[in-house]
Amino acid sequence: MNVLAIDTATENLGIAFEAGGRRITLVARMGLGHGENLVPCMEFLFKQLDIEPSDLDLVVCCLGPGSFTGLRIGLATAKGIRTGSGCALVGVPGPDAIAYRFRKFNGPVLPVIDARKHRFYCAVYTGGERRGDFLDASPGELASLINDLSGVLLTGPHAGAALEKIRLEGFSLKTVPNLIETPAEPESLLELGKLRFKEKGAAPPTIGPLYIRKSEAELAAGEDEGK
């Protein structure tokens, strides 16, 4: 099975390919450059595996939460590949993929993603399974959540930044959590996408990004309507 996984949810670009029993990955800090760099990076990796987009059986896309612009770029690219190659498309939330890597961790896992505005997207997992909803938490709320979780593993691209923000704002932690910061998890995204495709099949054509909060444009439109 030839599979491509794409993660453009944060400033870190993650791409993973699997073809003919071989796998190759790329993780690079792109900032706001996903639009310019995603396709050239994919083309480079295609050449490394000597395959064409038409050879793909499945494309897996990170649905977020994360950067609104990055998510739109990634999903639009994935849908374009699906249309052009006829392959299947599966969407996976980013925290699910991060937690999947640590599914054998003996304790709760808490992936953390910078949500801007001094807040963090997060969710709690045990054994790779999410326990509850995705959260849009303030540093104080995140500190309370960590204090409620015994032996928690704090991970994700902004786990260290979250701990620093908690410290700077004066919130106390009962114990320092386990910390493994990971910029992107394209291989876990690929593996989990394959599993969900096997269990649930391809995503519908209407698949969209996972937004935990409204975009700036939506908030501005709401304010205009209220005037």
| Residue pLDDT, tens place only, 136-181 | 999 999 999 999 999 999 999 999 999 999 999 999 999 999 999 9
| pLDDT value at 226 more than 90 | no
pLDDT at 215: 56
pLDDT at 75: 97
Cβ pair 7, 62 in contact under 8 A: yes
| Residue pLDDT, tens place only, 76-92 | 999 999 999 999 999 99
* 177 residue type, one letter: P
Mean pLDDT to the nearest integer, 37-51? 93
pLDDT at 221: 47
Chain centroid to CA 29: how far?
14
Which three-class secondary structure state does DSSP give residue 215?
coil
pLDDT at 32: 84
Query: What is the average pLDDT value for the chain, to the nearest integer?
Result: 93
Mean pLDDT to the nearest integer, 208-214? 89
The percentage of the chain sitting over the pLDDT mark of 70, rounded to a whole number, equals 94
Same fold, 3-94+184-226 and 95-181: yes
Predicted TM-score (pTM) of the model is 0.93
Cβ pair 182, 10 in contact under 8 A: no
pLDDT at 21: 87
In which band, very low, low, confident or very high, does the pLDDT at 213 lie, cut at 50, 70 and 90? confident
Q: Which residues contact 72 (CB under 8 A, 6 or more apart)?
A: 209
Domains in the chain: boundaries: 3-94+184-226, 95-181
The domain made up of 95-181 has a fold known as Nucleotidyltransferase; domain 5 (3.30.420)
| pLDDT value at 223 more than 90 | no
Distance of alpha carbon 69 from alpha carbon 61, whole angstroms: 14
Mean pLDDT to the nearest integer, 187-212? 97
Mean pLDDT to the nearest integer, 110-136? 97
| Superfamily of domain 3-94+184-226, CATH level 4 | ATPase, nucleotide binding domain (3.30.420.40)
